Each structure stands twice: as C-alpha cells, then as structure tokens.
Amino acid sequence: MMAPEASELGIELRVLAESPEVCAAAVVPTSPVGDYTDLSTLREFARSVDVLTFDHEHVPTDHLRTLIRDAVAVHPGPEALLHAQDKIEMRRAVDRLGLPNPQWDAVRNPDELRTFGERTGWPVVLKTPRGGYDGKGVMLVDPEDVGSPEVADWFAKASDAGWTDGALLAEEKVEFSRELSALVARRPGGETCAWDVAESIQVDSVCDEVIVPAPEIDSQTADSAQQAALLLASELGVTGVMAAELFETPGRGPGFLVNELAMRPHNSGHWTQDGSVTSQFEQHLRAVLDLPLGSTDRLAQVTVMKNFLGGENQNLFSAYPAVMAEYPGAKIHTYGKSVRPGRKVGHINVTGPSDELTRLRQVAHGAATGIRDYRAQGQA
Ligand code: ADP
C-alpha cells in the first residue's frame, strides 16, 4: 500500500515478493520473487536498493544484523524491530521504560503457567512470543487447561523454535473498556510525530473498524498514550511508522496499558489515507528515507475506517456500481488480493463532522458490507 505514495514522490519502490501471486508483485511489477528468510536472497535484494524497510515483521533479526554489517541501511533496524517481533522482549522494554504493562511473565512450562495464574487470577492469556497475528498465537487458559495437549504443544513449539528462553508469554486477562492505537513516526535523526489516538474495534481478534479520534477519550489519557508511543519509538530507536496497540483502562495507571507494538504502517492507521494531511504510508517512506516528516493534522473532525474481509462476492469490482451510487462519500481501498473467506481484502474510509459519527459509521459499514456480499443479478 506504499506504492501510490512512492509514485507520487517519485520514489522507486522495489518489493521482495513471497510469490508472483502476492498483491505487491502486481502493484510493483519489477518485484523480484524470493524467500525473505534466506540470507543470500536478502543480500542480493539489498544490493539493489538504497534503503530496506518492511511491511511485515518476520524477517529474521540475525539476517538484518548481517545486512547492517554489510552497510545496508535497514529501517527500522533489527534492535528496534525485535520489540515488534518478540512480545516478551516488548514487555521487558515497556517495564524498563516505566510504561504501563499488564501483569506478565515469561513461563517455560505448565507449572510456571499455573503459578502465574494462581498469583494473578484465571483465566490467563497465553501468547506465543513470536509469529502471532490476528489472534493466532493467543489462548485463554483456565486452570483445567494447564495440562492440556494444546498447551503442551505450545510449550514444545517455543522450546523447539529457541524463542526467548524457550518461553511463552503469560498475561493477566485485562478488563479494558476498549482498544486504542497510538500511531507515531520517527526519523533516524530523532524527529518524531504523532497522529490522534484511535479507537480500534476488534471482531474475533481481527481489527474491524477504527474511529479517529477515539470518541470521547479522556484528554489526559490521549496525551499520555501519545507520549508513551513517542517514548517507545525514541528509546527503542524506531525508524518509520510505529503503532502502539493499547487497552483503555479508566482508573488504572494512566488510563491505558500497552498491548503490543507494530513497526510498519498498520491497519489502525489506514484512516490516514483520507483523514490526515500525511498518510502513514507517505510518512513511513519519508521517515525511512530520512526526509522531513509531514503534518499529521486531521483533514476532517472524524474518520471511520472499516475493513472488509473476503465473503460471498469473489469479484469486488462487480459491486462498485451499486456501492458507489449508494455511498458517494465512501473511499474504497482494495488490495488486489484474491478473495478468500476471512481474508482482509480492503477497507473503506469515510470522513465528516464528529456530530455525524453515527451516520458516518453507517456509510462505512454499508459500503464495506455491500462490496463483501454483493451479488450480481442472476448470481446464485
Ligand atoms: P495479535 O498479535 O494476534 O494481534 P494480540 O496480543 O494483539 O495478538 O491479541 C489479540 C487480541 O486478544 C487483542 O486485540 C485483545 O482483544 C485480546 N487480548 C490480548 N491480550 C490480552 C490481555 N492480556 N487481556 C485481555 N485481552 C487480551
């Protein structure tokens, strides 16, 4: 999704694509295809660019360290990226910086998990420190589940993979009022910027809708959340865009706890394409190329972003005439991905005055549902 902004700025984007079918390869036709876990492939790719950046967090840290020794400009660098790759490292850093964490521990076996649950209360949220996304890698564990084969499998996986101490991350189950996202960007020299704090609504652990600014958020909570995200970005040496996903906890700590970090343009920042002077995609490019950052001012009082997942409609374009006619205020963004049930294939942005939030949400929902479920006449 960085391609339109790169093209606007005359920046040549090259993408190391996982396969010829991925949408990045369609958008950037010069993309070489290769395996990002293979060092020699990465080295060869790195020779063809001035700066290397990411749209996911899974490139092995050791490979990135090798590239840095080869004098490749890697942004964000591996020492920062580690905190988006490994949730135990992230929890340690949040503690070190004095920011609010849920109660947590790195547990190496079912006995340590039980001890944690007895100390903090059940159920416990058990997480694989690496490789999780959209709730895969998150399990709620009750006392009777501690000895289950599934929990044993997760411990075996953590130990086989040699993740941090072979451990899993155990967290208290936080009672939160909603989830928030504090989106920031940082240049290598230290310049930073922040967008307004967003509310992010999850369905089945997948981001479904984002509203910016988070409606009726306490102003001190919003300020502290922005400051926390900026501190994390500066102290971890992040370059590019970073999203701090937060739990809103009125009356506890500064009104929020840190959930996790993403160091790349993030789903909770897609609203910036139509709701901010500078989109997160343009800002990421500016930041990793060490260019001055753009304004994060909002273009409207409120922006609603609604994702749509693959559903009934296999040909999204077929829905355009009806959806565009009914919802002229909806900005449609699709990713060129093949449509599979449950796969994120696009999103809608709608902007307007804050006293019309209910209507703006209806427009975003209507347009997203229309594209997802549209059936052309005569279709079964
Ligand atoms: P992923 O890396 O898959 O996005 P997260 O750590 O963000 O995993 O967890 C997915 C979802 O699970 C969160 O959005 C939140 O709704 C819920 N969750 C995660 N950790 C906790 C926790 N400690 N307490 C309560 N809910 C949690």
pLDDT in the model for residue 260: 97
pLDDT in the model for residue 312: 83
- Euclidean distance between CA atoms 231 and 182, whole angstroms: 12
Mean pLDDT of the region 110-115: 98
**Interacting residues of 317 by C-beta distance below 8 A, sequence separation 6+:** none
Q: What is the pLDDT of residues 287-323, one digit of tens each?
A: 999 999 999 999 999 999 999 999 888 899 999 999 9
Mutating to test ligand 1, I would choose from 116, 128, 205 the residue with most ligand atoms within 8 A of its C-beta, which is 205
Q: Given a cut of 90, is residue 65 above it in pLDDT?
A: yes
pLDDT in the model for residue 379: 58
Q: Given a cut of 80, is residue 344 above it in pLDDT?
A: yes
Residue 39 Cβ < 6 Å to ligand 1: no
Q: What is the DSSP string of 343-376?
A: -EEEEEEEEE-GGGHHHHHHHHHHHHHHHHH---
pLDDT in the model for residue 314: 87
Global pTM reads 0.96
Nearest CA to ligand 1 atom 11: 205
Among residues 229, 234, 265, the alpha carbon closest in space to that of 245 is found at 229
**Out of 19-33, 50-64, 223-237, which region has the weakest mean confidence (pLDDT)?**
19-33
- Position with higher pLDDT, 371 vs 164: 371
pLDDT in the model for residue 377: 61
Q: What is the pLDDT of residues 205-214, one digit of tens each?
A: 899 999 999 9
Q: What is the DSSP string of 217-238?
A: --HHHHHHHHHHHHHHHHHHT-
Crossing angle (nearest 10°) for helices 39-46 and 61-69: 40
Residue 178 Cβ < 6 Å to ligand 1: no
Nearest CA to ligand 1 atom 1: 133
Q: What is the pLDDT of residues 114-173, one digit of tens each?
A: 999 999 999 999 999 998 877 789 999 999 999 999 999 999 999 888 887 889 999 999
Nearest CA to ligand 1 atom 9: 135
Q: Given a cut of 60, is residue 81 above it in pLDDT?
A: yes
Percent pLDDT > 70 in the chain is 99
Q: Given a cut of 90, is residue 29 above it in pLDDT?
A: no
Backbone φ and ψ for 140, nearest 5 degrees, come out as: -90, 125
**Residues 89 and 82 sit within 8 Å (Cβ to Cβ):** yes
